[in-house]
Amino acid sequence: MFAAADVHYPLSGGARAALVLATDATYSTIVSEKTVLVEHVAPYQPGEFYLRELPPLRAVRADVEQLELLIIDGYVTLDPDGKPGLGAYAHAEFAVPVIGIAKTRFAPATHAIPVLRGSATRPLYVTSAGIRPADAADLVRAMTGKYRLPDALRRADALARGRG
């Protein structure tokens, strides 16, 4: 299984995590979708975003076996020296390759590979753990969808926002 995940924080509190599962690495065949509401999450702390985001990812990923790849909305590493971001913590905990797809540039992440998709003029920024960065960028380019953001991650975002 190949998974794309996102987390949203409703105004009512807590976090809603979503997971989109596919049978192929380009996410052309979506076989399952899952959402989980986590009632209590850690408050946002600059530099420690993973403390807030990892528990909802853990909850939505529960009971998913034989995961080969996880794609997240965000960074895996935050700088060229490997300072861990959410994706690095997910890679360590779930023991699967993780690709981070960020929509905005994070200045210290000069190692992130810019990827243009579709007719977009603004790149996505790709980082990874457990998969070579160039291979991760190639996979993001090949993922299903004609828009800037791959369809699987767009769907995970919509589900996390409660727009199922």
Looking up residue 44, the CATH number of its domain turns out to be 3.30.2170.10
Q: Which helix (H) or strand (E) holds 147?
A: none
Provide the domain limits for residue 23. Answer: 2-160
Q: Which of 73, 133, 141 is nearest to 97 (CA)?
A: 133
| pLDDT at residue number 86 | 95
Note whether 39 and 14 are within 8 A (CB): yes
Which of 6, 23, 1, 143 lies closest to 87, judged by CA? 6
Q: In this predicted model, what pLDDT tens digit does every residue of 21-54 receive, in sequence order?
A: 999 999 999 999 999 999 999 888 777 788 899 9
Number of domains in the chain: 1
Question: pTM, whole model, 2 decimals?
Answer: 0.95
- 98-139 confidence digits (pLDDT tens): 999 999 999 999 999 999 999 999 999 999 999 999 999 999
